Amino acid sequence: MYLISRKNYLAFNLGKLKKLFPNSYNFFPRTWVVPCDMGDLKSFLLSKKNPYVIVKPEASCQGRGIYITKKIDDINSDERHVVQEYLTKPYLIDDLKFDLRIYVLITSCDPLRIFVHEDGLTRFATEEYEKPSSNNVEDMCMHLTNYAINKNNPNFVQNEDPECDDVGHKRSLISTYEYLQEEGYDINGLKERIDDMIIKTLCSVQPNLSHHYRSCQPEDYSRAMCFEVLGFDVIIDKKLNPYVLEVNHTPSFSTDSPLDRKIKKRVISEALELVNVTLQNRKKYYKKLKEEVLKRTMTGKLERIPKEEKQELIETLQKKRNNYEKKHCGGYRKIYPIENYEKYNKYIEAADNLWQEWTGAKILRTRKIEAKSPVPSVPPRPTRTMSNFSRSKPQSANKKLSEAEKIIERPSSSIFERLSQPTIRKFRSTAGYLPGVVYDEKKDMKKDTPNSVNLLPECDKIAIKPRIYNEINCLPTSKPLSHRNTAYTLKDLLIGRPASSAKIKHMEFVFRNKQYLA
3-state secondary structure of 234: strand
Q: In whole angstroms, give the CA distance from residue 174 to residue 331.
A: 12
Per-residue pLDDT tens for 402-432?
A: 554 444 444 444 554 555 555 555 444 444 4
Dump pLDDT digits (tens) for 440-473: 444 445 444 444 444 444 444 444 444 444 444 4
pLDDT beyond 70 at 38? yes
225: left (phi over 0), alpha (psi -120 to 50) or beta: alpha
Residues 495, 452: Cα–Cα separation, whole Å = 7
**Over the stretch 201-249, which tens digit does the pLDDT of each residue have?**
999 999 999 999 988 888 888 888 889 999 999 999 999 999 999 999 9
Task: Answer for the pair 124, 96: CB distance below 8 angstroms, yes or no.
Answer: yes
Cα dihedral 356, 361, 365, 371 sign = positive
Q: Give residue limits of the domains in the chain.
A: 14-26+91-128+142-275+306-344
User: Mean per-residue pLDDT for 373-394?
Assistant: 49
Kindly report, residue by residue over 46-58, the tens digit of the pLDDT.
888 888 999 988 8
- Nearest 10 degrees: Cα torsion 140, 145, 148, 149: 10
58-66 long-range CB contacts below 8 Å, 24 or more apart? 58/6, 58/7, 58/8, 58/33, 58/82, 59/6, 59/7, 59/8, 61/248, 62/146, 62/147, 62/148, 62/149, 63/140, 63/144, 63/146, 63/148, 63/149, 66/140, 66/144
What's the predicted TM-score (pTM) here? 0.69
Q: What is the pLDDT of residue 171?
A: 93
Task: For CA atoms 14, 20, 26, 31, give the dihedral sign.
Answer: positive
pLDDT of residue 189: 94
Q: What is the pLDDT of residue 446?
A: 47
- Distance in angstroms (rounded) separating the CA atoms of residues 512 and 489: 16
Amino acid 85: pLDDT: 92
The CATH code that applies to domain 14-26+91-128+142-275+306-344 is: 3.30.470.20
133 has pLDDT over 50: yes
Q: Which residues pair with 234 in a beta bridge?
A: 100, 244
Angstrom distance (rounded) from CA 253 to CA 266 = 11
Instruction: Please compute, for residue 10, the number of CA atoms within 13 A of its CA located in the half-sphere on the CB side.
Output: 31
Measured CA to CA in angstroms, residue 481 lies from 434, 471, 513 at distances of: 12, 11, 18
Identify which has the larger pLDDT, 71 or 199. Answer: 199
Distances from the Cα of 268 to the Cα of 107, 133, 277, 301, angstroms: 13, 41, 12, 42
pLDDT (0 to 100) of residue 173: 95
Q: Rounded CA gap, 106 and 5, in Å?
A: 14
Q: Facing residues of 54 across strands?
A: 68, 84
